[in-house]
Amino acid sequence: MKIKISFEEIRRYLDIETFDFPRYVSPLINLANQYAQGTRPRIVGQMSELIQEFEGKTLPEWEKWYLEKKPDAIRNATEKIVQMLKNLKNAINKIDKTIVEQWVRDLVIVKTYMGLRFQDAILKKGAELKGTDYRLSERDEESRGIDGYIGHIPVSIKPHTYEAKAALPEKIAIKIIFYKKVNGGVEVDYGEIL
């Protein structure tokens, strides 16, 4: 028989105080902490290692032990997070309906289009690097696994995760361009065509 024990019940069984934060406060602090990195190991210590070193049994013992090991950790983490909350509050005060509408348009229209059409940009950049022209494939070429041409070279554009899979079964020699979405763009491996 499987039984779920809620976090609230766990706190009650362990006799741990439950904080009642106002609505949205906890997720906002969590977001600020993600940006500020206030509870990273360099600030508060490697918690998984610290809890293993701890030999006590109760929450008060753990708190005392931890604060002796890391006396400035809570204050340092708090300061980083509070500063980021000030930054977020400043940003929130700049948000109006026009900005929200621009953000929604960028997400729904622009980023969707970019996400669906970035193969064109990959081909264009490859052609630029090779000093030639490019074109997207025709429907019959697509059915043979060709996404486009850089000069006269047929290419297939695949995510980097595809590299580990078996080679394409197409009969014609197709060069593969691998890409990987990274922070701020797409990292492209043109190795087979350059």
Q: Which of 34, 58, 93 finishes a domain?
A: 93
- pLDDT band of 171, cuts 50, 70, 90: very low
135 and 86 both lie in a single domain = no
More confident residue, 3 or 97: 97
Asked if 69 and 133 sit in the same domain, the reply is: no
The full DSSP string for 84-138 is HHHHHHHHHHT--HHHHHHHHHIIIIIIHHHHHHHHHHHHHHHHHHHTS-EEEPP
- Whole-number pLDDT of residue 163: 63
Q: What is the mean pLDDT of the chain?
A: 89
* 105-126 confidence digits (pLDDT tens): 998 998 888 776 888 999 999 9
Partners of 159 in the β-ladder: 179
Domain housing 173? 114-189
Least trusted range by pLDDT, from 17-21, 98-102, 166-170? 166-170
Same domain? For 128 and 72 the reply is: no
Query: How many whole angstroms separate alpha carbon 33 and alpha carbon 24?
Result: 14
pLDDT at 164: 54
